[in-house]
Structure 1
Amino acid sequence: MKKPDTPGVIAPPPLIYLGFVLAGWGLAELGARPEAVEAGLGWLAAGFGLDMPVRRGLALTLIVGGLLFDGMAAGLFRRRGTAVEPWKPTTALIIEGPYRFSRNPIYVGFAVTYVGLAIAMNSWIALILLVPCLFVVDRFVIQREERYLAAKFGPTYEAYRQKVRRWL
Structure 2
Amino acid sequence: MKGFPDLPPLWLLLFMGLAWLLARFLPLVSGVDPLMQRLGVLLACVGVLFVFWAALWFWKKKTTIEPHHTPGTLIVEGPYRLSRNPIYLGMVLILSGQVLWLGALSPAFLIPLILAVLTVRFAVPEERALLEAFGEEGQAYLKATRRWL
Q: TM-score range by the shorter chain?
A: 0.7 to 0.9
Can you give the 5+ residue segments of structure 2 that lack an aligned partner in the other structure? none
- 1:116 alignment partner AA: G
For 2:29 and 2:16, locate their aligned partners in 1 and report how far apart those are by CA, in whole Å. Answer: 15
**CA deviation digits over 1:55-107, x for unaligned, max 9?**
33212211111101111111011111112221444211100111112111111
Alignment of 1:3-152 (within 5 A): 11-31=6-26, 44-47=27-30, 49-52=31-34, 54-152=35-133
Displacement of 1:28: 2.6
- 1:83 alignment partner AA: T
For 1:125 and 1:12, locate their aligned partners in 2 and report how far apart those are by CA, in whole Å. Answer: 25
For 1:19 and 1:166, locate their aligned partners in 2 and report how far apart those are by CA, in whole Å. Answer: 23
Higher radius of gyration, 1 or 2? 1
For 1:12 and 1:71, locate their aligned partners in 2 and report how far apart those are by CA, in whole Å. Answer: 16
Equivalent residues of 1:25, 1:125 under 8 A apart: no
For 2:20 and 2:66, locate their aligned partners in 1 and report how far apart those are by CA, in whole Å. Answer: 26
Displacement of 1:153: 1.1
Coordinate RMSD, CA, aligned: 1.7
4+ runs of 1 displaced by more than 6 Å? none
For 2:68 and 2:129, locate their aligned partners in 1 and report how far apart those are by CA, in whole Å. Answer: 11
SS in 2 for 1:118: helix
User: Given the two structures, how large is their TM-score scaled by the length of structure 2?
Assistant: 0.88
Displacement of 1:50: 4.8
For 1:88 and 1:145, locate their aligned partners in 2 and report how far apart those are by CA, in whole Å. Answer: 9
Can you give the 5+ residue segments of structure 1 that lack an aligned partner in the other structure? 1-9, 32-43
Task: Count residues in correspondence.
Answer: 145
**CA deviation digits over 1:97-143, x for unaligned, max 9?**
11112111111111111111112222322121111111111112111
For 2:49 and 2:64, locate their aligned partners in 1 and report how far apart those are by CA, in whole Å. Answer: 18
